[in-house]
Amino acid sequence: MDPPRVAVGAVVIERASGAPRVLLIRRARPPLEGSWSLPGGRLEPGERLTDAVAREIREETGLEIRVGPLVEVVEIVASPYHYVILDYVGEPIGGTLSPGDDASEVALVPVPELHAYGLTDVALRVIHRALAMTAEG
């Protein structure tokens, strides 16, 4: 098994169109190649966590985001991978949605349609926690 790796991800919530939509990517590489998930990736040496979140979202989706609060720390142990993932809230502030880097597709998905994307239970939990944290009230 590989040594544990620190990674970051983001639940990017777009509300400009009215009802919230969540940014998803279809993974172009292992692990979970071909599956839909939250965007994110590994931390680079010397990189701050929030800088890594913004960089990964830009590289994978073309969007610039404002990084918000930490939603959850997720640990995934699935041989040969061991990831410790820090998932943050993100808000789009610019850029053009386009797949890049580790993503073969990108989509802003209305919340009621998330179930159709085959997301893991962990991803759905993180998404719903982020939505609750950012609910406008």
The residue extents of the domains of the chain are 5-134
Residue predicted with more confidence, 23 or 2: 23
CATH of the domain spanning 5-134: 3.90.79.10
Task: Reply yes or no on whether 136 is catalytic.
Answer: no
pLDDT digit string (tens) for 58-117? 999 999 999 999 999 999 998 888 999 999 999 999 999 999 978 899 999 999 999 999
Catalytic residue among 33, 44, 75, 105: 105
Residue type, position 12, single letter: V
pTM of the predicted model over 0.75: yes
